[in-house]
Structures are given as structure tokens and as C-alpha cells.
Amino acid sequence: MQFLAPLLLAGTVLATAPIIIHLLNRRRFIRVNWAPMEYLKLTLKTNKRRLRLEQWLLLAIRTLAVLALFFAVARPISSGTNLAGFLSVEGRASRVIVIDDSLSMSYQNGEQPAFERAKNAARQVLNQLGPQDSVSVVLASNPAQTLVRTAHLEENERNKLIARINELSNCQMASHWISTLEDIDRQLQEATFPVKEVIIVTDLWAAGWTVEVRDLFDRWSQEQVTVRFIDIGENPAGNRVLHSLELDSRIALVDQEVKLTAVIENAGEEPLKYGQALLTVDGNVTPVTLPEIPADKTVEVPVTVRFDQAGQHVVTLSIPADKLLADNIQRKIINVRQLVDVVLVDGEPGLNPFDSETDFLALALSAGNSNWQVTQSESSTWKTQLLTAPDLIVLANVDQLSKERVKELEELVSLGTGLMIFAGDQCDLELYNERLFKGGKGLLPARIHQIRDLSSQGLVIEPIADSPIEMLKGLTPELLSRVRPRRFADVTLDPNSDQQQVRVLARWNDAQQSPAVLEKRFGEGRVMFWTITADKSWSDWPAEASFVLAMRVAAQEIAAEIQRGENLTAGEPIHYELETITAPQSGELLWLDQESSPLEITFGTINETKTMLSSAPIRFAGVVEATWKDTQLGDQTQKFAINANVEDSLQKKLDEQALQQFLGRMPLKLIRYQGKEMDLSTEGTELWRYLAVLLLGCLISESMLATWIGRRR
Amino acid sequence: MNEYLNPEIIGRIAGIGFKTRQPVEGTIAGLHRSPLHGLSPEFADYRSYTPGDDLKNLDWKAYARSDRFYIKRFEEESNLRAVFIVDSSASMAYGEPAFSKYDCAATIAVSLSAVLLKQRDAVGLAILNDRVQEDLKTGSTPSHLAKFMEVLQRTKLVGETDIGPAVSQVADQIHRRGVVVVLSDLLTPLDRFYESLGKLQHAGHEVIVMHILHRDEVEMPFKDSVIFKDIEGDEEIFAEPWAFHKAYQAAMEQFIQETRLRCQYCGIDYLPVLTDENLGVVLSSYLHNRQFAGTKTHRGRMSSLDSQPDVKKQRDEITGNSPAPEMNKRP
């Protein structure tokens, strides 16, 4: 509680006046020599309690009336949470006010989103601080860029700062408190006053709080840094999150169905029935009927789109609105290509149809599939040619590769080109192991032990998530049981290899469950090793229909991904490699779906071979377009989609006990603002009217009570 | 010297006179009925002659008519021996210096004594608090009144009121049936007082209780805060009388009514007197009523009154027969 005229509070000492008058009155008496003392005492004894109660009541009302009078004239102002007392420190202080502007601060359960309440709280905190203190104000998502730094705020400066705060919007990044607090720690090192204080205005949602902050808080506790929390958040009361919108395959081709999967979580207590999402493709909106999503469940919703032109396309999916709108939208930049370039390196060319090692492969990939441009190349020729950068390279029964060619292949694959390797009689196993396996560091997923005969009952697809040949699991067991190779390349898995990098996708149905198909992630690309030949020399499978399906699926999944960093999450910077050597001079980054000021982009080169387009971390979600002028290619544009970081949508709020665990030895100082009104500071309601009413009531009561008591009874 | 002798009061009540309502034993012939049959102009009854009877009492006319000897008997009319018992405890000083309760009691005693002496009755005086302070033997000469007043005037009002034992002591000293008038504020242990009244009654005395109170004591009219100091002790009580004014009045009223009830139940005249009342009016009214009131009925001992099933009904019934007026209330 604050007083606009606190000096008048001194008048409250007059509240003792009724007591003093009462005592003085007891000195004004007449003395009577009285005979019937027994009857007097009898009467007094009978009425003693009533008389005493009446006197105390009257005295209390009179005292209260005096108190009410002087409290009223001192003009008290309500401050339900006593913010001034909460912020009070001894001496001058260096304060850093941190305003949480993460995604969860958009949550709106009442009339105002959490971020508006946070701004309101920050304003009122600033109004409480005098110019003697040094103040820095930062946003949690961008602590390095302060709104004001170690300033001593006079009224004008404070008003300007408040105006800036009023214009702020919260970003769509996830909280990451350790990095925020570490940045603030650096600012505190520069603080001038010995009393240091960090005021964190936050919704206290659990996302972003990690145990690493405990060490920092412990150190602050030792350094006498005070941390005060202003909790402006409300308890989460349900939310729907569109977690992701991902392409099912690595490539999207013109005039082909492109399948996407949307992951939707219903983190509320009510099921979502008859929901309808809106799918926007290059501005054209199409409704998508959602399945029923039970409460507290996550579902995957398939979405299919088709593009008739190559190039960049913006796909946006938005689910029905809820209390946190920012996590209901996912944007996706899809690079649609006209063709997929495949090079088949034939290690055993033949003169007649299907004599060559790669004839069955070429047929499987190109038949009825005009988007796949398949080029067959004899290995002897390919080894000497300058290596191009196709989307997929298939080495079929290639005897050996030079070290230089292996190095070139490694570079290509690491940049995203897919590589399929088929075994064969011509393969020089020793060289393969030496140059391609490289003790587990090369392209080959496993060491080839030997070529040996096999008696298998078919092919077994391993149940692995995100397997490139996962679709083959849909085939009937009879079809897979007919895949019976006579010979195969027996491989030995390196027990020290990373399980995430090397996986056995399928095994032969023999006694040893020998690996049939192996995959290795190598940089951005994938390598798939088939332990049989691509022709019919080791098995009759290439003549089977299932071979066509298997090859197409595998090729599509490991072919070079044509996404190159266009899809970002809020908080990430743009880091995009340009197809030019000379770095452009300048460019700009414009928002396509909102009216915000342009962002800065920079161009630079890495090792004088790569030209990169870069930006600072982008804190807001949306679609941006970078434009620049290339000296060779002319005007260039590139779109980027920035999605909200839905990690911050975690529906959990820290209570005091949970927060204290993160604080370690730092004592918890927390103030909560809840309800409709944020009534914290001297801008609060003046209370003198209520006190005047109280005073009037006291006076009336006193008059009535005094009359009633003073009557002759 | 003649402070308590008020001719106006005496003049007002002298014409009415004072007669006992029960026989009394006097030494000379007087106005009052005596329990003894003797020389008296008032014929009582006959009885048969027995040898040894004085022949002067033989009714010859009756012998002539009936040829039998009858002896005439006459009622003896005796003079009255009235003893005034005046409370001289410190509490009786209330009302000083104007007109204290003691002054009031003394005035009443002197006024009645003057009337009685005029009737050739004998009057005595006992002044007591918790013991007998003064004891003036009965006398019927006019000069006795002077002694009477002198004793009253020289009395110092000291000591606590506990007149019960003292009254008993006085009762033992009165051998002939007469009238005993008690003048007190009755702010005394009442049980012992009632016991002493019973003793007086048992001795055949007619007892009159005159309850002398100051109006302040009944109404407590104070408007300021008051420290009440016990007039007979050292105790002091601070109080604001307006807060319990009515409760106190009710307590005093109950005290008076209780006393009235008990006295009248035992056939004792009870006369409450406030010091500011016109004593001539009060006494004349009382004496006038006595003349027309019937003989007092003694219904029982005072101590048995509490065990009666319907005290209120009895009280109302008794009050109806009482010659004593209700205490005057200030309008």
C-alpha cells in the first residue's frame, strides 16, 4: 500500500486521544459517601460484562474513526501485492528486468494474453524504480540486445522505455533460460552497484527450465545477487499443437502426389471432433477434415498435395484455433523438382538386353516414371569421367574404385547425394573394405567378409522407424519369401559402429539371419548396401515385381534431398548456400505473410568455395523472402519458412517447489499476478473514499452507541 | 436544642393520636387496652361469685333479677410504654448536613414521643448501631421529652449497622408488653434483624418498623462519574451510574418490597420513609390508617416466609391490609 500524503499519517497518533480522554474522564468524578454499598456492588456485578463490553466497543469505534480519518487524508493507494515492498532493497541497486517473450506467452486464457500482462507488470515495476537505480531491460529471447542498458531512468526516459515496451510482441521461440541467464550474468558483471537484482517476468511454464540453471543460481546466491520472479502466467488449461508438417519422401516432383504428414497433439481435456484444418498451397486454401483426436493424444494426419510447376512452393497447414494460436500453424517450403537424376554405374556391361548388371535397375527406376532420368554408365568409363552431382548414384558390381573417386563420392554423399551399392563377383572385397569401409569411417556400412552361397527362405524387413524400405513391409510374406538368393556378400557389422548411423534394414531368412540390406547415414546423404547383385547372377529377384517396388522405394528415399535449409524453427538463423561463387553485395529479407519491418541478411564466403546467405536468429514465425542481385544470375529470390518452436507449448507450469529445485540455494522470491486487473503500483485505486465511508459509519455508530449507552438505564 | 421537635408535625398528628392495636401493660390507667381486668369504667363480662371475692364487685341488680351472685368484670385501660429504637450507625448520616436519615429518624421519634407523652403514655429510647449506645428508660413526664431529645442530639453516628443483636438486647430489657418502634435504614444483616423482631413479637410487643432512606439511595440520580465510598468502611468503587441506573433502582425496590413483605407477614407495621418527604403528612397518614386498620394478624415467623409456595400472592394480600403507604415516588 502506498500513500500520496504519507506525512499526514503522523496524525494517526491521535488515535490514542479517545483512550486518553477516556482515562481523563475517569479523573472527573464526584465522591459520594455511600451507604447501600451491597446493593451497588450487586448491581455492578450483574452488569459488569455488559458495561465493560459497551465501553470497549465505544472506545474501539472512536479510535477507529480517528484512524480512518488520518488514513483517508493520507490518500492510500491499493497495491494488492505490495509491489513496492517486494522490490525494496537497501541502497542503490543494479537491476536487470527480463521479460519472457517466448511462444507460451501468447497463451490467452482470459481477456489478455500472458505477454500483455507481462508488459503491464514490467511497466509497473519500472514505475516503482527511481532514477537512483541502474536498470537494464531485456527480452528473454534476445538478452544480448537490451531495450535499455544500465540506465538511470528519469521520467522522460522511463516514459520512452514504457512506450517501447508497449510496442513489443512476443516471439515464437522456445524459452531457453540457461542461455538467457548466462547472458544476463555477463551484464551483471558490468553492474556498478553492489546490490544486484534480476527481475524475471514470466509465465513460469516448465519448458526451457533445465538443471543447468541451478549452478548459475547457486553462484548468484553466493555473489548476493537477488532474483525476483513475477509470475504473470495462468495455469495451462488445454491446448492443441501442430507439432510438425513433414514430407514423407525426400523429394517432391512435378505432377506427382507429394505426401506430407502432420503431427497434431490434443493436449486438452476435451476431444477434438469434426475438426477442420486449412491447407494453404501457394495461397490457395483447401479444407482438410481432421480425424477425431481424443484428449491427451497425438495423431498423424496425412496430407497430399500436387504441384504443377517446379520451384519453391509454400505450404501452410493450420488447425482449429485454441488458447495458444502460435502453435497451430506449420509452414513448409517445398522445393519441387522436374527430374531426379540417377546414374547407374555398371560393373559388368553386357551386349544383350538384361545382360548388363544394371539393366533390371534401369527398367525398375524408369519404366512409366518420366520424372526419373536414369543414365547407365560403364564402370570403366565412369571411373575416368569427371564426377557430376546426380541425385542418386548406384554402384552395381563395380570391381574397384580409386582413392580419388572414393573421396569424391564421400564429398557428394556428405552433401546429400544418395548412394546404392550392389555386391557382385567382380567386387574386390579387400579394396572395398580398405577404401569404402575404412574401418567404419567410410561409405560402406559394414565390412564384407566373404562371398558365399546362401540357402535362404526369403527376405525379412526389419521393423525400423524411418526405414527407406519400410514400404516393403506392406508386401505379402509370400512375395518376400520368393526372394531367395543363391549367393550373397556376407558382412560383418562393426560392434563399435553408431547404431544411429548404421542400420540393418532387412535380413535374409536363414539360420544366421544374415544382413540383406544395410544403410549408413553419411553426412547429409545416405548409403544403402545390398548384399546381392542387381542382376540375376546371384538371385532371380530382379525379375520379380517386388524388385521394382523395392528399388523405386529405396531410390526415392535416399536420393539427394532437395531441401537446403529453407525450413527453420523460430530462433534459428538463416544459413543458406548460394549457387554462385561471387558473394552479392546486399539484399533484404521481407516478410510475406505479415507486415513487419524487413530483416537484415548478409553474404559471405566459406573457404572461398561456398557463398552463404546468413541472417541473425529469426525470432518470429512466418514466411520470409530473401532478395538479392547476383552479378551473374541477376535478381534472385529465396523463400524461407520459420515455424514456431512448439517445445514451448508444453502444458506444464512450475509451482514454487519445482521452481525452487532449479534455484538451488537461491531463496525463492515470487510474486503472482492473477485475475483480470493488474493493479500493482501507484496507479492503483485510491482508497480514501472507502475510508471516508468507514469514518462516516464510525461516526454514526459512535453517536448511536454513545446515546444508547449514555441513556439512563 | 429543639432541633428535632417540629411543632408542625406534632400539631398534625396530635389530633389523631396513637393507639396500640393490641393490649399493652402500663402502670397507670390510660387510653390503651390492657391484658389485665381491673378498675375500669369499661364492663367486660360476668363470672360466678366465689368466696373471697370483693363484694364491691358483686352485681346486686343481677342478684335481684336472678337470685344468683355474679361478680362484674371490667377491662383495664392502661397507659402505653413505647420504646423507640433509633439506628445510629454511620450510614444514617447520609444526607448531611441538610437533613440526614438520622435527623429524619430522630424527628419522627420526637414527634411520636410528644404525642404519646401528651396521652400520658411512657416513652423510652434506645440508640444503637452494632451495640446499644444509649438507653433511655421509659418515662411519661413532660420533662422526659427533653431528655429524649438530648439523647438523640448528643448521639454520634459511628460504627457499622448491625442492629439485630442490639435490638435483641433491648428486647430483653423490656419486661412489659408495649410498642417498639424501630427507625433504621435497614442496611444491616437482615436475618439477624428479623430474628430480633421475632423476639420482640414473641414478648408481646407491637413492633413498628420505619424504614428511613434517602432519595439518592433509592433513585441514584447522579449524572457524573462517581466514586462511591463506603460510608461505614474504606471500600471505594468507581462507577458511571447512568449505565446501571434502572438496575440499581430495581434492586433497591426489591429490597424494600422484600422487607415490607416480611414485616407484614409477621404482623409488623412497615413504614418506608424518604427523608425529603413531608413527615407530618407521612405520619398523620400512617396514624390515621392505624385507627381504621384491624388487628394485625401474625401469620408466622419471618424465616418461614421463604418457604411459602406463592409469595407474591401473599404479599399482595398482605399489602392490601397494611396501613402503611407505598413509598412515594418523585414525579
Residues of A numbered 85-114 whose beta carbons fall under 8 angstroms of chain B's beta carbons: which are they?
none
Complex ipTM over 0.85: no
Residue B101, min C-alpha distance to chain A (Å)? 11
| Contact between residue A356 and residue A324 where contact means Cβ atoms under 8 Å apart | no
What lies within 8 Å, CB to CB, of B131 at 6+ separation is B159, B165, B166, B169
What residues of chain B lie within 8 A of the CB of A48, using their CB?
none
> Are B94 and B197 within one domain?
yes
Per-residue pLDDT tens over the stretch A266-310: 988 888 888 899 999 988 999 999 999 999 899 999 999 999 998
Q: Which residue of chain A has the CA closest to B223?
A: A712
What residues of chain A lie within 8 A of the CB of B255, using their CB?
36, 39
What residues of chain B lie within 8 A of the CB of A47, using their CB?
243-244, 247
Looking at the domain assignment, is residue B177 inside a domain?
A: yes
Looking at the domain assignment, is residue B93 inside a domain?
A: yes
| Contact between residue A405 and residue A419 where contact means Cβ atoms under 8 Å apart | no
Among A35, A43, A51, beta carbon nearest to B217: A35
Looking at the domain assignment, is residue B98 inside a domain?
A: yes
Q: How far apart are the first and last CA of chain A?
A: 45
Q: Which residue has the higher pLDDT, A20 or B30?
A: A20
Does the structure show a pLDDT above 80 at B295? no
CA angle A209, A213, A217 (to 5 degrees): 130
Residue A18, min C-alpha distance to chain B (Å)? 17
> Are B33 and B136 within one domain?
no
> Are B231 and B196 within one domain?
yes
Three cell numbers, residue A353:
538386353
Does the structure show a pLDDT above 70 at A680? no
> Are B47 and B119 within one domain?
no
Residues of A numbered 519-538 whose beta carbons fall under 8 angstroms of chain B's beta carbons: which are they?
none
Q: Got the DSSP string for A403-415?
A: HHHHHHHHHHHHT
Among B229, B240, B252, beta carbon nearest to A32: B229
Among B240, B243, B252, beta carbon nearest to A39: B252
Residues B144-169, mean pLDDT to the nearest whole number: 86
Among B231, B239, B246, beta carbon nearest to A44: B239
- End residue of a domain, out of B61, B78, B95: B78
What residues of chain B lie within 8 A of the CB of A711, using their CB?
242
User: What is the per-residue pLDDT for A90?
Assistant: 62
CA distance A273 to A502: 42
**CATH number reported for the structural domain that contains residue B157 in this entry:** 3.40.50.410
User: What is the per-residue pLDDT for A301?
Assistant: 93
Looking at the domain assignment, is residue B172 inside a domain?
A: yes
Instruction: Return phi, psi of residue A58, to 5°.
Output: -65, -40
- End residue of a domain, out of B55, B78, B101: B78
Three cell numbers, residue A421:
551399392
Tell the residue number behind the cell numbers 569427371, with chain if given: A386
Does the structure show a pLDDT above 60 at B35? no
User: What is the per-residue pLDDT for A88?
Assistant: 64
CA distance A188 to A211: 21
**Mutating which of A22, A38, A39, A46 best tests the B interface, going by the most B Cβ atoms within 10 A?**
A39
CA distance A99 to A171: 12
pTM flag (> 0.80): no
Q: How many CA atoms lie within 13 A of A59 on its CB side?
A: 15
Per-residue pLDDT tens over the stretch A362-408: 999 888 877 889 999 999 888 888 888 899 999 999 988 899 999 99
Does the structure show a pLDDT above 80 at B34? no
> Are B42 and B176 within one domain?
no
The answer to whether residue A28 neighbours chain B at the CB level (below 8 Å) is: yes
Q: Which residue of chain A has the CA closest to B256?
A: A39
> Are B106 and B118 within one domain?
yes
Which of B174, B134, B173 has the alpha carbon at shortest distance from B26? B174
Which range among A114-123, A482-491, A669-678, B227-236 shows the weakest confidence by mean pLDDT? A669-678
CA distance A298 to B280: 113
> Are B213 and B167 within one domain?
yes
The answer to whether residue A25 neighbours chain B at the CB level (below 8 Å) is: yes
Which of A344, A251, A254, A253 has the alpha carbon at shortest distance from A560? A251
DSSP secondary structure code for residue A382 in this structure: H
DSSP secondary structure code for residue B94 in this structure: T
Name the residue range of residue B33's domain: 29-78
User: What is the per-residue pLDDT for A30?
Assistant: 83
CA distances from A384 to A388, A425, A434 (A): 12, 22, 21
**Coil, strand, or helix at residue A504?**
strand
Residue B255, min C-alpha distance to chain A (Å)? 9
Residue A41, min C-alpha distance to chain B (Å)? 8
Q: Where are the alpha helices (DSSP H) in A192-322?
A: 212-222
CA distance A684 to A4: 12
No. of helices (H) and no. of strands (E), chain A: 15, 34
CB contact under 8 A, A37 and B94: no
Which range among A37-41, A418-422, A532-536, A558-562 shows the weakest confidence by mean pLDDT? A558-562
The answer to whether residue A45 neighbours chain B at the CB level (below 8 Å) is: no
* Residues forming a β-bridge with B132: B128
Residue B161, min C-alpha distance to chain A (Å)? 10
CA distance A695 to A185: 52
Angle between helices B279-292 and B7-14 (to 10 degrees): 20
Which of A63, A125, A259 has the alpha carbon at shortest distance from A702? A63
Domain count along chain B = 2
Does the structure show a pLDDT above 80 at B23? no
User: What is the per-residue pLDDT for B21?
Assistant: 66
Looking at the domain assignment, is residue B328 inside a domain?
A: no
Three cell numbers, residue A354:
538384361
What residues of chain B lie within 8 A of the CB of A708, using their CB?
none
What residues of chain B lie within 8 A of the CB of A707, using their CB?
none
| Contact between residue B88 and residue B129 where contact means Cβ atoms under 8 Å apart | yes
Looking at the domain assignment, is residue B246 inside a domain?
A: yes
Among A29, A38, A39, beta carbon nearest to B225: A29
Which of A243, A416, A247, A242 has the alpha carbon at shortest distance from A332? A247
What lies within 8 Å, CB to CB, of A29 at 6+ separation is B224, B225, B226, B227, B238
| Contact between residue A333 and residue A567 where contact means Cβ atoms under 8 Å apart | yes
Q: What phi-psi label fits residue A368: left (phi over 0), alpha (psi between -120 and 50 degrees) or beta?
A: left
Residue B103, min C-alpha distance to chain A (Å)? 16
Looking at the domain assignment, is residue B139 inside a domain?
A: yes
What residues of chain A lie within 8 A of the CB of B235, using their CB?
37
Tell the residue number behind the cell numbers 474513526, with chain if given: A65
The answer to whether residue A26 neighbours chain B at the CB level (below 8 Å) is: yes
Q: What phi-psi label fits residue A173: left (phi over 0), alpha (psi between -120 and 50 degrees) or beta?
A: beta
What's the full length of chain B, in residues? 331
Tell the residue number behind the cell numbers 411512657, with chain if given: B122
**Coil, strand, or helix at residue B227?**
strand
| Contact between residue A599 and residue A457 where contact means Cβ atoms under 8 Å apart | no
| Contact between residue A239 and residue A268 where contact means Cβ atoms under 8 Å apart | yes
pLDDT class of A579 with cuts at 50, 70, 90: confident
Three cell numbers, residue B60:
346486686
CB contact under 8 A, B242 and A712: yes
Among A34, A39, A41, beta carbon nearest to B229: A34
Angle between helices A114-128 and A155-166 (to 10 degrees): 180
User: What is the per-residue pLDDT for B309?
Assistant: 46
**Mutating which of B104, B190, B228, B275 best tests the A interface, going by the most A Cβ atoms within 10 A?**
B228
What residues of chain A lie within 8 A of the CB of B248, using their CB?
39-40, 43
CA angle B271, B277, B281 (to 5 degrees): 70
User: What is the per-residue pLDDT for B311?
Assistant: 46
Tell the residue number behind the cell numbers 529377384, with chain if given: A541
User: What is the per-residue pLDDT for A419?
Assistant: 95
Angle between helices B311-321 and B245-265 (to 10 degrees): 70
User: What is the per-residue pLDDT for A446?
Assistant: 93
Q: Where are the alpha helices (DSSP H) in A167-280?
A: 177-189, 212-222
Q: Ranked by mean pLDDT, which of A440-444, A528-532, B65-69 comes out on top?
A: A528-532
Which range among A223-227, B1-5, B291-295 shows the weakest confidence by mean pLDDT? B291-295
Per-residue pLDDT tens over the stretch B82-116: 899 999 988 899 888 888 999 999 999 999 999 88
User: What is the per-residue pLDDT for B126?
Assistant: 92
CA distance B71 to B55: 8
Per DSSP bridges, beta strands A622-630 and A2-3 are: unpaired
Residue A708, min C-alpha distance to chain B (Å)? 10
Among A36, A40, A713, beta carbon nearest to B246: A713
Per-residue pLDDT tens over the stretch A90-144: 667 889 999 999 999 999 887 888 999 899 888 888 887 878 888 899 999 998 8
The answer to whether residue B245 neighbours chain A at the CB level (below 8 Å) is: yes
> Are B35 and B163 within one domain?
no
Looking at the domain assignment, is residue B227 inside a domain?
A: yes
Three cell numbers, residue A109:
486464457
The answer to whether residue A637 neighbours chain B at the CB level (below 8 Å) is: no
Three cell numbers, residue A75:
490518500
Q: Where are the alpha helices (DSSP H) in chain B?
A: 7-14, 60-66, 101-118, 142-154, 163-173, 190-202, 215-219, 245-265, 279-292, 311-321
Per-residue pLDDT tens over the stretch A192-251: 888 889 999 999 999 999 999 999 999 999 988 989 898 888 888 888 999 999 888 778
Q: Which residue has the higher pLDDT, B170 or A345?
A: A345
> Are B74 and B116 within one domain?
no
Three cell numbers, residue B275:
427523608
> Are B161 and B53 within one domain?
no
The answer to whether residue A42 neighbours chain B at the CB level (below 8 Å) is: yes
> Are B62 and B175 within one domain?
no
| Contact between residue A398 and residue A404 where contact means Cβ atoms under 8 Å apart | no
> Are B14 and B161 within one domain?
yes
- Please, what is the average pLDDT of chain B? 79
CA distance A118 to A169: 11
What residues of chain A lie within 8 A of the CB of B242, using their CB?
710-713
Per-residue pLDDT tens over the stretch A526-554: 999 999 999 999 999 999 889 999 998 89
Domains along chain A with CATH numbers: 2-78+687-710 (no CATH), 83-234+652-672 (3.40.50.410), 240-334 (2.60.40.10), 340-558 (3.40.50.880), 567-643 (2.60.40)
Does the structure show a pLDDT above 90 at A626? yes
CB contact under 8 A, A712 and B245: yes
